[in-house]
Chain A
């Protein structure tokens, strides 16, 4: 496989051999290794010393189910630390089929011109782009699909990325031409700083994927695939209700953060629940079950139509619905879906923006419950007005602008949809992951609420530190394989599925490593990330939740009660 490298300072590119040290890395392990090796941790994330790295996972492009995720890495303009954000869509498998292990983009072009990049079997072409500037992601994707055909992969930034906002994401076209996002950490701003509006990928006549032991791979892939489909969560619940099925259970368990984390339950929960969403989708002739990339067998995504049965949004996730919904006390699913659509189109992380809206409500810019007000403020972000530029830089920035202390962020990144006081395991993850508050980095909701991979009482401290640590290590490996995090339900509940995952990697790369050995890759990646963060100036003081979480949260009156020592023991390296 090859590394494609682009230097935007002089619009040149090279094709390099993959160094030995990176051969057995992919996805997050690889983006973090490259960023740690090549990026000065002290650099300005929007300056010429930062780099933007795209990498498919170790298993991407193969027949392994759910292996088509793309990792994007960089120094984050939001957290000031290292970032890996991953997404489905049409890009990762094309990189893999082209034999491209990573695309590294460095430098910044002189002048004001914007560019687009085309990735193909012989390398890349860099061209000036004028037509699609200032355009939203939906229009960019539609235009490029018309221009280059259905089969082209697309990664793009909306207006938010062009404004270099810290909530800007990188959007990836999905198989239906809808949008998936490498959402968190402001990577769209890094792409904007490099003056790249979009990247297209053509995998025709690509080198393809080498598999050392095809027979062994096939056998393991079968077990893995079957394991995902026979697990009740990935086989039944996710395809039917999507991730929004979580609204009701978090609400019942008192862990659904409501009104900017004031309560753990929301009176309007049923109206924004997965059950209601399913009925609405069926009524309006949408599609409840859709995969974000070819080869996803779980298919948690969906197409949500408006009242006139016209497409409104897809990839409509629990965290977004929670954030604009319960978090803002809005119980209108159509308004939330419109906000999701707008975030996708403008190129904004919908979790960051939802918590930003809660913060704006806290500040009195609009009031809690004001759904139309949210849409108006998103319009300000799109226009790039002074208020829009404050909001587009995220919850911490907005909180600071209005002199607030009740701002739910860690390392400046917004805390998502599970109250850390009443789902304590995920709180430990928010505090300690090198990524800034991120539920997917160690999704302890599994054992705390969903009874997957055992049970650890969400309201007690006991067992949470270990749970978060083990999940963070395992997740880092899953992210490195290019596997969707939702394979974890089956992996955690079945030793055979976990073994099959590792057997696939061994069969592809001709290795004979154990599960423990591969999970060591997760551990060393976390270590690399933490070292980068330290050199960037982050300290253990950044591994803490905001002070206001020492307040009790109803209905269980739970508090955040971990000591600094306990938190420092989670990833003690």
Chain B
């Protein structure tokens, strides 16, 4: 399965802005976070296809996962 991962703000440091990844079925958002070596507490908001689904949600083929630290304005 493929998914697009987008990182924002401080989460980009030493990583990337956007990348396509290959993942097995049943991969959850938190597994992706772990795979990128991001401490889970640094991720405040995860959007899957623009919906705030939480880190437990299972990613489907072709999904876009956007990860944000705590931000505001």
Contacts and interface: CB of A to CB of B under 8 A. Distances in A.
B45 interface: yes
B47 interface: yes
A450 B71 CA distance: 7
A444 to B, nearest CB: 13
Contacts of B17: 270
Instruction: Label chain A's interface by main secondary structure.
Output: helix
Interface residues of B, number: 19
B6 interface: yes
Interface string A538-561: 000000000000000001100000
Contacts of A24: none
Nearest to A274: B9
A253 interface: yes
B70 interface: yes
Interface stretch (A123-131, A140-148, A201-209, A451-459): A451-459
B39 interface: no
A236 B70 contact: yes
Contacts of A138: none
A232 B70 contact: yes
A248 B45 CA distance: 12
Contacts of B50: 252-254, 265, 555-556
Contacts of A486: 72-73
A407 B45 CA distance: 32
A270 to B, nearest CB: 7
B8 A446 contact: no
Contact of B73 (A236, A244, A253, A451): A244
A446 B70 CA distance: 11
Nearest to A234: B72
Most B CB contacts (10 A, CB to CB) among A234, A244, A451, A459 go to: A451
A237 B45 CA distance: 14
A318 interface: yes
Contacts of A489: 72
Contacts of A457: 52
B69 to A, nearest CB: 7
A200 B44 CA distance: 44
A556 B50 CA distance: 8
A242 B73 contact: yes
A233 interface: yes
A252 B73 contact: no
Interface in A439-482: 446, 449-452, 455, 457-459
A233 B72 contact: yes
Contacts of B15: none
Interface string A231-263: 111101110111111101100111000000000
Interface string B1-28: 0000010111010000100000000000
Given A246-B73, A450-B71, A455-B52, A252 B12 contact: no
Q: Which 3 A-B pairs have the closest CB atoms?
A: A243-B73, A232-B70, A233-B72
Interface of A: 231-234, 236-238, 240-246, 248-249, 252-254, 265, 270, 274-275, 300, 317-318, 446, 449-452, 455, 457-459, 486, 489, 555-556
22 contacts: A233-B71, A234-B72, A236-B69, A237-B9, A237-B72, A237-B73, A240-B10, A244-B73, A245-B9, A246-B72, A252-B47, A252-B66, A253-B50, A274-B9, A275-B8, A275-B9, A450-B72, A451-B44, A451-B45, A451-B70, A459-B51, A486-B73
